[in-house]
């Protein structure tokens, strides 16, 4: 079994935008995926696969031999991730506001005490 040099595949995210992350065009990626499916090359182990293997080695094996399966859980996971991404900036701004208001509250309280 051969190996693919320095190519990272994210099999669960094969949309065009994600494919560009590995610096390959869609056609090249599809060729690589066929090689993996035919078991003529070995792909690198993904960190999430380790979790999958330890959850159930048989499920992991089915996943890597039967190709990509987007389960409802994965789709939900993706939605959640997008949700987190959209809210990160908002959370940062809210956190900054909370700190500022806390300082103002302390200052006003001190003024109240002094007056």
Partner 1 sequence: MNPIIIIIIVLALLLIFLIALLKLTRVPGAVYKNKVKYSDHAKAPVKPFFSNKYWLTGKPDYILDTKDGLIPLDIKNTAKPKEPYFGHVMQVVSYCLLMEEENAIPPKYGILRYNDGQFYISYTPERKAHLLKTMDKMKQHMRSNTCPEPDPKSRCKLHTTVSL
Which spans of this chain sit near partner 1 (rule: CB under 8 A)? 1, 3, 5-6, 8-10, 17-18, 20-22, 39, 42, 44-61, 64-65, 76-77, 80-85, 87-88, 90-92, 94-95, 97-98, 101-102, 104-105, 108-109, 111-112, 115
- Rounded to the nearest 10°, the torsion over CA 80, 22, 13, 41 is -140
| Nearest distance in Å: CB 69, partner 1 | 14
CA distance 38 to 43: 12
Closest approach, Cβ 26 to partner 1, in A, equals 14
SS3 2: strand
Q: Closest separation between CB of residue 28 and partner 1, Å?
A: 16
Least spacing, CB of residue 58 vs partner 1, in Å? 4
- If the CB atoms of residues 34 and 42 are measured against partner 1, the closer one turns out to be 42
Task: Decide whether 25 or 76 has the Cβ nearer to partner 1.
Answer: 76
**Complete DSSP assignment for 59-108:** HHHHHHHS-----HHHHHHHHHHHHHHHHHHHHHHHHHHHHHHHHHHHHH
Q: Which pair of structure tokens corresponds to residue 55? A: 């959850």
């Amino acid at each position: 079994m051969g190996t693919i040099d320095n190519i990272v595949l994210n099999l669960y995210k094969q949309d065009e935008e994600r494919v560009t992350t590995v610096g390959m065009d869609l056609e090249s990626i599809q060729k690589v995926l066929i090689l993996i499916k035919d078991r003529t090359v070995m792909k690198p182990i993904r960190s999430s696969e380790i979790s999958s293997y330890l959850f159930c080695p048989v499920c992991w094996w089915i996943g890597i031999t039967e190709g990509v399966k987007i389960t409802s859980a994965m789709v939900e996971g993706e939605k959640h991730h997008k949700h987190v991404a959209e809210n990160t900036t908002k959370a940062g701004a809210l956190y900054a506001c909370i700190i500022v208001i806390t300082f103002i509250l302390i200052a006003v309280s001190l003024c109240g005490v002094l007056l």
